[in-house]
Amino acid sequence: MGVELLTERYQSQMAGVLSCYDRIIIQGTVPKWCYAQGMTDYFYEHQIRIFDYPRWAEPLRDAIRESLEHMAAEKGIEIEFIRSKKNKFRQEKRVQELLDQRGDGPGLVCILSAMEPCGSYKPWHDKKTHKTYLKPADGKCLHYDVYFIDRIWGCAPYACPRGVRSGCRSTANGHSYLARQLSQRQIEYRVLDNAFGWIADLEQAQKLADPFSVKMVHRKLDQFADRYCPVVQQFGLSYHWSLDQVEFATDLVFAKQVDLHTRQTDHRPRPEAQTTRHHPHALSTTGWLKVLPSSLRIC
């Protein structure tokens, strides 16, 4: 006996179905700088002494800090230092408070900073082989989380660590992207948490969600890197983007709230919700090809 899908079981009770990407976490690394042998080769190619690494890296870290401080000053905001990022809810709550004050118009919302673990390198000379090279090292450095509203993506957090080896990280949200598209076309909708509880034109909404393309993602990521982590440009380098986590969701919209109340499942929704998430996929880098179509492969 095959598995009966919720879309089949409750087809007569549903007002519509919408499938789109949810949260996508994308990691950016500089290919030559993200592993010890590559960084060692880079130093030898550019005739930089291995033991000069600390002196070489410090101006890069300072440049990231100065760039973000200048950006914050231009926008009239202060960089807020967070003593502990273990409680993620507090950080998101702070961002939401600022969004409630400023609205959801495009532009910089805030910059949060915190000390976090980051990868680095240390110079090493092997007395047996007489080779000098860089070895991986763990430490802590100041990370910056830049929150801004993009005209297309909506709210898009961007992480800029000051460690040379760590790279950067960007987060996109398919629901946020679709909400921006609906608003620009004046299509009314209602959001419940991170799902759509109602959309005036579901068919058009699905058409807007489908073209989420790799070209658009790459173009946006390059723009964000140029804006918030421009340091690598002076070396003629660019970021390599890879998917760290991808979530895909199908929102089921029930026509009547009572139908959702009486639905017999192992996971009962909250009484006030009229939308449930069907088969969300959250996967690591090793498994994303199983559900991700070829049109969104970032390699």
111-160: per-residue pLDDT in tens? Answer: 999 888 888 999 999 999 999 999 999 888 888 999 998 888 888 788 87
Q: Does pLDDT of 43 surpass 90?
A: yes
Weakest mean pLDDT among 73-82, 89-98, 257-266: 257-266
What is the rounded CA–CA span in Å between residue 98 and residue 5?
40
3-31 per-position pLDDT tens digit: 777 777 777 777 788 899 888 999 999 99
What rounded mean pLDDT belongs to the chain?
A: 80
Residue 88 has what pLDDT?
Answer: 55
Residue 54 has what pLDDT?
Answer: 93
Residue 228 has what pLDDT?
Answer: 86
User: Which tokens in the block code for residue 41?
Assistant: 């080769």
Residue 171 has what pLDDT?
Answer: 87
Residue 105 has what pLDDT?
Answer: 86
Q: Does pLDDT of 263 surpass 50?
A: yes
Question: What's the whole-model pTM score?
Answer: 0.76
pLDDT: which is higher, 172 or 43: 43
Cα 194 to Cα 48, 89, 104, 136, 174: the distances in Å are: 49, 15, 16, 39, 10
Residue 275 has what pLDDT?
Answer: 42
202-247 per-position pLDDT tens digit: 999 999 999 887 788 888 899 888 888 888 888 888 899 998 888 9
Percentage of the residues of the chain whose pLDDT score is greater than 90? 31
Most confident region among 35-49, 56-70, 206-220 by mean pLDDT: 35-49
